[in-house]
Copies of this chain bind each other. A is one copy, B any other.
Amino acid sequence: MTQKFVYFFGPQATEGDATMKNTLGGKGANLAEMAKLGMPVPAGFTISTEFCTAFFAEGRQFPQSLRDEVAAALQKTEEAMGTKYGDPQNPLLLSSRSGARASMPGMMETVLNVGLCSKTIPGLVKKTGNERFVYDAYRRLIMMYSDVVMEKAEDIEPAEGKGIRLQLEHLMNRAKKTKAKNLGKKVSEILDTDLTTADLKRLCTNFKKKVQEVLGREFPDDPDEQLWGAVGAVFKSWEGRRAVSYRKIEGIPAEWGTACNVQSMVFGNLGDTSATGVAFSRNPATGENKFYGEWLINAQGEDVVAGIRTPNPLNEETKNPQNQHLTSLQAEWPDLYRQLDEIRSKLEHHYRDMQDIEFTIQESKLYMLQCRGGKRTGTAALNMATDMLEEGLIDEQTAVMRVQPAQLDELLHPIISPEAEKNAEAFLHGLPAGPGGASGKIVFTSADAVAWAKKGEKVILVREETNPEDVEGMRAAEAILTARGGMTSHAALVARGWGKCCIVGAGDAKIEAGTKRMSVGAVKFKEGDLLTLNGTKGCVYQGELEMIDATENPRFQGYMQMVDKFRTLGVRTNADTPEDARVARQFGAEGIGLFRTEHMFYGVGSDEALFLLRKMILSKTIDERKAALDELSVFVKRDIKATLEAMDDMPVTIRLLDPPLHEFVPQDPKNRQELATALGISPAQIKKRGESLHETNPMMGHRGVRLGITYPEVTEMQIRAILEAAAELKKDGRSPKPELMVPVTCDVRELDVTKVIFDRVRKEVQQQTGVEVHCLYGTMIEIPRACLLADRMAKTAQFFSFGTNDLTQMCFGFSRDDVGGFMNDYLDDNVLEADPFQTIDQDGVGQLVEMAVSKGRSTRPDLKIGICGEQGGDPASVEFCFRMGLNYVSCSPYRVPIARLAAAQAAIKAKK
């Protein structure tokens, strides 16, 4: 017996169900399931995904056995619908739609109204009594079929603007123009519905002529030929260019294939007792447990979506200002509404999730065309999960899985009103570096940002790229926009740390900070002009768009508590100030995974500390340097103490000074002069020192532990400041838990040399204060060699913390500051699937991480391992860290909830 390829669905004897997604595709499986549940699904059949594979294996042919199966299924369909395909009196029309295992929206083809031809048109006219409807359906068939079946499926590649569909649309526009002239209207005022039956009949004739002329073949007039053409086109579209490239990106195997769903057509545009609509079983924007949807009388599905007519509300309680004057389905046809509402309830209880539904009413009879899990906003996802849990529809585990981690972001930041954004057009695009939305006036310097903000203005700081000297202005601005830089550039890191809206790498913007002007193509901007940024998408709009407040969802905290029940992976935060630490604690951080000592030299209030640091850098002898360090240590200790206090009783990983020293030497003449005056040396000396510190590739230069090897006194000062701060807090009855982290190590001997200082200073501080301070000694793992030699590193290090930013840089040889020059080409050409600075490259960097974990624990089984790179807040990366057996992830404060959720979901997935 040959393999079964065709599965019938209808009021009786449905052969599939929702579990058969692999065979029937998502759409076919859900149609079968609805039919099984006794819902009014127009009958039809699904040709399975297995046939798709066979189809390509057999040279795109249909074997007789399939033709036999289809004939049998078609007969059952005809019986169910009480019509007959190709019958001149009572013709059945069919649709042919793709449906793969995984959703591939818009990537494959559909043909509707199959079966309309000279033989069946008269019968349908007679049956419907609606000649205009029939010819409208016919012209739609010709447009769709000639494009999908006769052109695309035959691999014909027309010259630009010469595709058959465009040429037919051109004919249709001509017809509308004539109509406009006749009616004395503007063309833009003419709707499809203004075309009369006669117009449509003429159009169909012209369409068929054009098809013959362009494609050299007649439009098929035989129902059988139409059916097999439509089925073949659906299968062929699986190997179409768009689908293949989409599959490559999403990692969908070619072997999966698509199914083809052949279904009886039903029409919502058969007159005033017909209608069509889409609905959600709950509100997809808010999560409210109310049946929510839109419908239109005498219309087809695409009309509802297209937005030409304002659709009617589904029921009375969900009316809104835009549609409150329109009749609801509930009011118009109460019985049909009740029937639909019962189906809604049945589906939700059956699927235990919010459903997205398509329905059609044909001459007062309701048909269900589709149901699937509905897309929703973050707020809605959270509310639905909580509601359904309370309703007993789902359990806690399911509730935790129902919110995508990235969706939480929405709950934490103000955003542009979706309505306002829909009607606006972005004139500039960049990388979405900091989430949420913001409006404000353009300023071009950090100083202006601060000054304007003081006057109460909301400003957007626009820079070629930002550097540490801009931090004050960035803090003062509502949002930051830069022309250069990648997702982990300075601006992006700082903004994300603060949860501030930020777009970087908007390369089309030409920024002239000197003249305070920006241009994008022909459009010019000056200081004070209004901009609105969507930092979640990377879109920039002119003017001020409406913003909506991030409603602090009252259920958020409760939900996160539930999430933590399932979580085993720790979540810490990267925080450099007591304020950041407090925010992160509120978001549930369990410690600080990365405190960057150097950040106390940037931004507001850092002047004095920065001055002392510069003095230290510019000192000419060790003694001078030590004197400067002594002064500096007061500030270092103060800042560390405040942060240890804010995180009392939780671990705080403090990283030794990391950046190369030249970052701190002022580069512009004005700052240089100021510093020279203050230090009593010449600006030339400062310039010279800056030049002698200059490096060709500072990322791989004299930084991190390398500074400590050259200037051990700098390391000693920092260690002393940490231990003294902790000792003083302990004396006050607090429980500080400092952890010392040595950065940029590539060999255990770097750790050994530094540990000699650590051990000595610890003893000295203990003697001097009488307090014993416990402080873990560990290292950042951010250099490939440290991973390769992790067994040795762990002999001295008590903990590892992966610096996946730098590890990614070294593993790929990508400078994150310069990657903007080619990353887009890499993503466009599919050379890379994702930006490895946003989500850990599991293939490459992942191997290094795995190696470091297993080698590290081979010498020190209780080695504590975390990650403090930017990817610590990326859900896929969190899941990876969980699988690798890390103890914790650390991310910026605003990503802590995201990491917590991702960690819980990873644990649940692992249990399954």
Where the two chains meet, the residues of A that have a C-beta atom closer than 8 Å to any C-beta of B are 695-702, 706, 709-710, 744, 746-747, 749-750, 753, 782-785, 788-789, 806, 809-815, 817-818, 821-822, 825-826, 829-832, 841, 843-845, 847-848
A753 in contact with B831 (CB, 8 Å): yes
Q: Which B residues touch A841, using CB under 8 A?
A: 785
12 further A-B pairs in the complex, CB-CB below 8 A; given A696-B817, A697-B697: A696-B818, A697-B815, A700-B809, A701-B818, A702-B822, A709-B822, A709-B825, A710-B825, A746-B812, A784-B844, A785-B845, A806-B813
Q: How far apart sit A784 and B807, CA to CA, in the bound complex (Å)?
A: 10
Q: Which B residues touch A750, using CB under 8 A?
A: 831
B785 in contact with A821 (CB, 8 Å): no
Known: A821-B695, A831-B750, A848-B784. A815 touches B700 (CB 8 A): yes
Q: Which B residues touch A825, using CB under 8 A?
A: 709-710
B744 in contact with A696 (CB, 8 Å): no
Q: Which B residues touch A814, using CB under 8 A?
A: 700, 746
A19 to chain B, nearest CB (A): 36
A818 in contact with B702 (CB, 8 Å): yes
Can you list 21 A-B pairs with a CB-CB distance of less than 8 A? A695-B815, A695-B817, A696-B699, A696-B817, A698-B818, A699-B815, A700-B700, A700-B813, A700-B814, A702-B822, A706-B826, A746-B812, A747-B831, A750-B831, A753-B829, A753-B831, A782-B813, A784-B811, A785-B811, A788-B843, A810-B811
Q: Which of B695, B818, B829 contacts A700 (CB 8 A)?
A: B818
Closest B residue by C-beta to A696:
B817
Q: Which B residues touch A749, using CB under 8 A?
A: 829-832
Q: Which B residues touch A809, using CB under 8 A?
A: 700
Q: How far apart sit A845 and B806, CA to CA, in the bound complex (Å)?
A: 17
Q: How far apart sit A64 and B309, CA to CA, in the bound complex (Å)?
A: 111
Q: Which of B753, B783, B829 contacts A812 (CB 8 A)?
A: B783
Closest B residue by C-beta to A464:
B691
A822 in contact with B710 (CB, 8 Å): yes
Q: Which B residues touch A844, using CB under 8 A?
A: 746, 784-785, 788-789
Q: Which of B699, B706, B789 contacts A843 (CB 8 A)?
A: B789
Q: How far apart sit A144 and B785, CA to CA, in the bound complex (Å)?
A: 47
Q: Which B residues touch A818, using CB under 8 A?
A: 695-698, 700-702
**Of listed A706, A784, A813, A826, residue having the most chain B CB within 10 A:** A813
Closest B residue by C-beta to A697:
B815
Q: How far apart sit A706 and B821, CA to CA, in the bound complex (Å)?
A: 9
**Of listed A700, A746, A747, A806, residue having the most chain B CB within 10 A:** A700
Known: A695-B817, A701-B818. A747 touches B832 (CB 8 A): yes
A782 to chain B, nearest CB (A): 8
Q: How far apart sit A788 and B749, CA to CA, in the bound complex (Å)?
A: 25
Q: How far apart sit A735 and B796, CA to CA, in the bound complex (Å)?
A: 58
Q: Which B residues touch A747, using CB under 8 A?
A: 831-832
A829 in contact with B698 (CB, 8 Å): no
B696 in contact with A698 (CB, 8 Å): yes
A658 to chain B, nearest CB (A): 12
B697 in contact with A699 (CB, 8 Å): yes
Closest B residue by C-beta to A711:
B825
Closest B residue by C-beta to A785:
B844
Q: Which B residues touch A831, using CB under 8 A?
A: 709, 747, 749-750, 753
B821 in contact with A710 (CB, 8 Å): yes
Q: How far apart sit A226 and B237, CA to CA, in the bound complex (Å)?
A: 99
Closest B residue by C-beta to A705:
B831
Q: Which of B695, B753, B784 contacts A784 (CB 8 A)?
A: B784
A271 to chain B, nearest CB (A): 55
A805 to chain B, nearest CB (A): 12
Q: How far apart sit A809 and B783, CA to CA, in the bound complex (Å)?
A: 10
Q: How far apart sit A696 and B829, CA to CA, in the bound complex (Å)?
A: 25
Q: How far apart sit A831 and B832, CA to CA, in the bound complex (Å)?
A: 37
Q: How far apart sit A847 and B789, CA to CA, in the bound complex (Å)?
A: 9
Q: How far apart sit A831 and B841, CA to CA, in the bound complex (Å)?
A: 31
Q: How far apart sit A385 and B42, CA to CA, in the bound complex (Å)?
A: 96
A826 in contact with B709 (CB, 8 Å): yes
A813 in contact with B746 (CB, 8 Å): yes
A788 in contact with B848 (CB, 8 Å): yes
Q: Which B residues touch A753, using CB under 8 A?
A: 829, 831
Q: Which B residues touch A696, using CB under 8 A?
A: 698-699, 815, 817-818
Q: How far apart sit A789 and B809, CA to CA, in the bound complex (Å)?
A: 16
Q: Which B residues touch A830, using CB under 8 A?
A: 749
A702 in contact with B821 (CB, 8 Å): yes
Q: How far apart sit A781 and B815, CA to CA, in the bound complex (Å)?
A: 18
Q: How far apart sit A45 and B785, CA to CA, in the bound complex (Å)?
A: 49
Q: Which B residues touch A812, using CB under 8 A?
A: 700, 746, 783, 785
Q: Which B residues touch A697, using CB under 8 A?
A: 697-700, 815, 817-818
Closest B residue by C-beta to A814:
B700
A712 to chain B, nearest CB (A): 9
A542 to chain B, nearest CB (A): 25
Q: Which of B701, B789, B817, B829 contacts A709 (CB 8 A)?
A: B829
Q: How far apart sit A456 and B547, CA to CA, in the bound complex (Å)?
A: 77
Closest B residue by C-beta to A701:
B818
Q: Which B residues touch A806, using CB under 8 A?
A: 813
Q: How far apart sit A753 and B813, CA to CA, in the bound complex (Å)?
A: 19
A744 to chain B, nearest CB (A): 6
Q: How far apart sit A829 and B844, CA to CA, in the bound complex (Å)?
A: 33
Q: Which B residues touch A784, using CB under 8 A?
A: 784, 810-811, 813, 844, 848
Q: Which B residues touch A813, using CB under 8 A?
A: 699-700, 744, 746, 782-785, 806, 810
A701 in contact with B821 (CB, 8 Å): yes
**Of listed A753, A784, A812, A844, residue having the most chain B CB within 10 A:** A784
Q: How far apart sit A821 and B695, CA to CA, in the bound complex (Å)?
A: 9
**Of listed A698, A709, A821, A830, residue having the most chain B CB within 10 A:** A821
Q: How far apart sit A831 and B745, CA to CA, in the bound complex (Å)?
A: 11
Q: How far apart sit A843 and B749, CA to CA, in the bound complex (Å)?
A: 13
Q: Which B residues touch A822, using CB under 8 A?
A: 702, 706, 709-710
A826 to chain B, nearest CB (A): 6
Q: How far apart sit A831 and B746, CA to CA, in the bound complex (Å)?
A: 10
Closest B residue by C-beta to A489:
B696
Q: How far apart sit A710 and B696, CA to CA, in the bound complex (Å)?
A: 24
**Of listed A811, A831, A843, residue having the most chain B CB within 10 A:** A831
The 6 closest A-B pairs by CB, nearest first: A697-B815, A700-B815, A785-B844, A696-B817, A702-B821, A701-B818
Q: Which B residues touch A702, using CB under 8 A?
A: 818, 821-822
Q: How far apart sit A746 and B811, CA to CA, in the bound complex (Å)?
A: 8
Q: How far apart sit A330 and B844, CA to CA, in the bound complex (Å)?
A: 72
Q: How far apart sit A817 and B700, CA to CA, in the bound complex (Å)?
A: 9
A444 to chain B, nearest CB (A): 18
Q: How far apart sit A753 and B248, CA to CA, in the bound complex (Å)?
A: 14
Q: How far apart sit A697 and B700, CA to CA, in the bound complex (Å)?
A: 8
Q: How far apart sit A814 and B786, CA to CA, in the bound complex (Å)?
A: 13
A536 to chain B, nearest CB (A): 27
Closest B residue by C-beta to A248:
B749
A595 to chain B, nearest CB (A): 22
Q: How far apart sit A782 and B813, CA to CA, in the bound complex (Å)?
A: 9
Q: Which B residues touch A710, using CB under 8 A?
A: 821-822, 825
Closest B residue by C-beta to A507:
B692
Q: How far apart sit A812 and B695, CA to CA, in the bound complex (Å)?
A: 16
A645 to chain B, nearest CB (A): 34
Q: Which B residues touch A811, using CB under 8 A?
A: 746, 783-785, 788, 810
